[in-house]
Amino acid sequence: FWSLFTLFQGAIGFFTAGTAIILLFTLRFLVGLAEAPSFPGNSRVVAAWFPSSERGTASAFFNSAQYFALVIFSPIMGWLTHSLGWHSVFVVMGILGILLSFLWIKTVYNPKQHPKINAAELDYISKGGALTSMDDEKSQQNKESKWPYVKQLLSNRMLIGVYIAQYCITTLTYFFLTWFPVYLVQAKGMSILEAGFVASLPALCGFLGGILGGLLSDFLLKSGKSLTFARKTPIIIGMLLSCSMIICNYTESSWIVVAIMSLAFFGKGFGALGWAVVSDTSPKECAGLSGGLFNTFGNIASITTPIIIGYIVNATGSFSGALVFVGSNAVIAILSYLFLVGPIKRVKLKEPPSTPPAQVPSSSI
């Protein structure tokens, strides 16, 4: 559905300005609405399919795929815009997404329903902490409202720290997804075609950083380090590296800027282990809800980041303040994991109060 709504955006140019703005806002909203289950769904897949010692790597591959997509498609989209106009980008990407959705439907299963899984594999991942029985009582759980659990999740200090950090880390993501190519064009004088190719270099570093961060986290876990140390260490190192983007304010060289941004994007990928943490901490009663709240906090940044950066650039006439804003979010993410999150462990919820039975009037006895 999000690919279908992306495809429709290619037709916005056929409408007048006022109508086009309304349609653009509506379709972008629908894209976000349809795409929202993707990351919580992946967190659930990782929790069901992977033992604890492999979740960091599994989550890193999923999370890093978005950076690798930028490596592949940034040059292609730059060329499409340059040669065929901006409409073609939405049409091509929408069609590709629709085709891939059919492949996804044919390949994704729950562990116990996969046609090729054997008893040894199922036993291995189950003993390692995979929640393979998460959906055994699915029909019963669907009858129960998950809203009573929301208050417990939002009052848990560890989860609040993880949610705040995810907002900050997603701010970095959306800087690179939205404003970084504009920064290269407006602040560094590159053409759209050049920016498309250059933007793929930091994205490649982000992809490599994401994979290495997950591998390091799982290596530390298998080496006997605590889950807390294994997850927090790559996150803190990665966010420290991301702060380096502020140095771009002190150089005029375009290629030095690209090198620094590549380091910052590498750090962002290296520290993007939030979904592994969600798989480690989400209560099994409402893993999807916990991932949904985590995703909501992160996606708030997808709304605020383009607006805040646009306001800063418009008010100051430069990107200097914008880079400081994005870098400061990396610092806040570090502080959140250091001082708010505490030990990383699976949350145990209290049973929500059940609805009391209706009272029978004494006169009817």
pLDDT of residue 189: 82
Which residue, chain included where needed, has tokens 């966010």? Answer: 239
Determine, yes or no, domain membership for 255: yes
Find all residues with CB under 8 Å of 19, minimum gap 6, and list them.
none
Determine, yes or no, domain membership for 360: no
- Give the C-alpha separation, 246 to 264, whole Å: 9
Determine, yes or no, domain membership for 224: yes
pLDDT of residue 290: 84
Determine, yes or no, domain membership for 112: no
pLDDT of residue 134: 66
Nearest to 55 by CA among 233, 235, 218: 218
Determine, yes or no, domain membership for 287: yes
pTM of the complete model: 0.75
Domain assignment of residue 324, given as a range = 54-85+149-347
Determine, yes or no, domain membership for 107: no
Six token digits for residue 80: 């499409």
Determine, yes or no, domain membership for 93: no
3-state per-residue secondary structure call for the chain = CHHHHHHHHHHHHHCCHHHHHHHHHHHHHHHHHHHCCHHHHHHHHHHHHCCHHHHHHHHHHHHHHHHHHHHHHHHHHHHHHHHHCHHHHHHHHHHHHHHHHHHHHHHCCCHHHCCCCCHHHHHHHHHCCCCCCCCCCHHHHHHCCCHHHHHHHHCCHHHHHHHHHHHHHHHHHHHHHHHHHHHHHHCCCCCHHHHHHHCHHHHHHHHHHHHHHHHHHHHHHHCCCCHHHHHHHHHHHHHHHHHHHHHHHHCCCHHHHHHHHHHHHHHHHHCCCHHHHHHHHCCHHHHHHHHHHHHHHHHHHHHHHHHHHHHHHHHHCCCHHHHHHHHHHHHHHHHHHHHHHCCCCCCCCCCCCCCCCCCCCHHHC
Q: Per-residue DSSP letters for 265-302?
A: HHHHHHT--HHHHHHHHS-GGGHHHHHHHHHHHHHHHH
- Residue pair 161/342 in contact (Cβ under 8 Å)? The answer is yes
Vertex 220 angle, CA 214 and 221, to 5°: 90
The CATH number assigned to the domain holding 305 equals 1.20.1250.20
Six token digits for residue 151: 């208050």
- Give the C-alpha separation, 171 to 173, whole Å: 5
pLDDT of residue 113: 79
Determine, yes or no, domain membership for 321: yes
**Helix, strand or coil for residue 70?**
helix
Number of domains in the chain: 1
pLDDT of residue 364: 45
pLDDT of residue 168: 95
pLDDT tens, position by position, for the chain (365 residues)? 999 999 999 888 888 888 888 888 888 888 888 887 887 777 788 888 888 888 778 878 887 887 788 778 878 888 888 888 888 999 999 999 999 999 988 888 888 878 888 888 888 888 877 777 766 655 455 555 567 788 888 889 999 999 999 999 999 988 988 888 888 888 888 877 777 778 788 888 988 998 899 899 989 988 999 999 999 999 999 999 999 999 999 988 888 999 999 999 999 999 988 888 988 888 877 777 888 888 888 888 988 998 999 999 999 999 999 999 999 999 999 999 999 999 999 888 876 555 454 454 544 44
